[in-house]
Amino acid sequence: MSDAPDNGQPTTPGSPGGAYTLAEILSQPSCWEVSLRVLGETGALDKLARQFAGAEEWIFIGCGSSYYVAQSAAATMASLTGLRAQAVAASELLLFPEIVLAAKSRRVPVLISRSGRTSEVLRVAQLLRERRIATLGISCAPGQALERLVSSALVLPAADEQSTVMTRSFTSMLLALQTLAATIGGRQDFLSARGALAKGAEELLQTLPQRVREFVSTHEFEDYVCLGQGPLHGIACESALKLTEMSVSYGQSFHTLEFRHGPKSIVSPETLILFLLSETGYAAELDVLEEVKQLGGTTLVVANRADQRARSAADLLVELAIDGPEPARTALYVLAGQLVGLYTGIEKGLNPDKPRNLSRVVVLEKQGSPEQSKHVAI
């Protein structure tokens, strides 16, 4: 696929706009199985667990969607291992390194880039290399610069994509990093749940695309908001980004309970609010859902298992129904947001495979000064 930005013009009648993206969304369960099986067969995660056994802190670093991978991966690392973990945008580390690296703990920076070529991520890798800090990189493209700059690398070629936006690469890299956390933490319950995860996703994707498409086609929205807490906040951010990228719509994301503190002023029937209900915070998050519904908002609710209150407050309800530890289900919560972004873009006559002003990789080139962005995506 060319890296030249698409002009974002509507697709011509009969053209398969969004076909690549839809295929990649639907391929996620099989992609997870392949990627995790290869990691298991090579023993890569066990080796990394031994290599970084003395770590006191993990720092997950990325840009765009990869930064949202970092947010959810950091939350999982902390919950499964008890170690300190944080997510940092690559630009923050580049511009304010002493803030990010202020602590003197034994840390492991994890650099995330689908392409292995994202300029800011590569510059962070070089900065950390100069400081003699051991690093881990994860990408979906073999033989790229990131592999050469980090101390160790995880590469998931089965997860790479033809479309511009990240879908299966997002969930696959997240699951790989979550499985690393479970390996470090000795969480066999998480490792055992992975098979049910892929099977549950396959069953969900048999009906979810049509349900979302019908929902999108029968509503007209002016505003889009995605809400999630804890490890689901990164998923909420990613869901809002999918809407923005694929449909040229303005999507916002907040911590669920923070939505009360000002943002709820935008709620109306033309506001779609995507609720990602956790199990840990279910009762408190459900109160916000009911409050938003009373204000007249249109709601799409994703929950592992919903009670009658959630059912009554949801205009569209997506139930995952996956057994096992809560962190193991994190990746599934993004499926609804991916599909809403896809079908909203198609409904607007756009081509979600090639969003306006975007291409697959951010590569910064110097043309005198200052630096200019040659490509815009992740």
* For residues 322-348, average pLDDT: 96
Highest mean pLDDT among 15-29, 194-208, 275-289, 343-357 belongs to 275-289
Residue 291 one-letter amino acid: E
Q: Could you give the CA distance from residue 350 to residue 343 in angstroms, rounded to a whole number?
A: 10
DSSP letters of 114-177? Answer: SSS--HHHHHHHHHHHHTT---EEEESSTT-HHHHHSSEEEE-GGG--SSSS-SHHHHHHHHHH
Interacting residues of 6 by C-beta distance below 8 A, sequence separation 6+: 164, 351, 354, 355, 356, 358, 359
- What tokens does 8 get? 């974002």
Are 182 and 74 members of one domain?
A: yes
The CATH number of whichever domain residue 27 belongs to comes to 3.40.50.10490
Are 334 and 232 members of one domain?
A: yes
* pLDDT 10s digits, 225-277: 999 999 999 999 999 999 999 999 999 999 999 999 999 999 999 999 999 99
pLDDT band at 103 (very low <50, low <70, confident <90, very high): confident
372 pLDDT more than 90: no
14 pLDDT more than 50: no
pTM of the model: 0.91
Kindly report the backbone phi and psi dihedral angles of residue 221, in degrees, each rounded to the nearest multiple of 5, phi listed first.
-110, 145
Q: What is the pLDDT of residue 378?
A: 52
Q: What is the pLDDT of residue 8?
A: 38
Q: What is the pLDDT of residue 20?
A: 93
* pLDDT 10s digits, 107-145: 999 999 999 999 999 999 999 999 999 999 999 999 999
Residue 23 forms part of a structural domain: yes
Are 152 and 253 members of one domain?
A: no
Q: What is the pLDDT of residue 376?
A: 37
Residue 12 forms part of a structural domain: no
Range of the domain at 95: 19-186
58 pLDDT more than 70: yes
Neighbours of 198 (CB within 10 A): 18
Neighbours of 304 (CB within 10 A): 20
Q: What is the pLDDT of residue 195?
A: 81
**309 and 178 in contact (C-beta within 8 Å)?**
no
Residue 5 forms part of a structural domain: no
* For residues 198-206, average pLDDT: 95
The CA–CA distances, whole Å, from 274 to 226, 300, 339, 345 equal 5, 5, 12, 17
Residue 6 DSSP label: B
**111 and 120 in contact (C-beta within 8 Å)?**
no
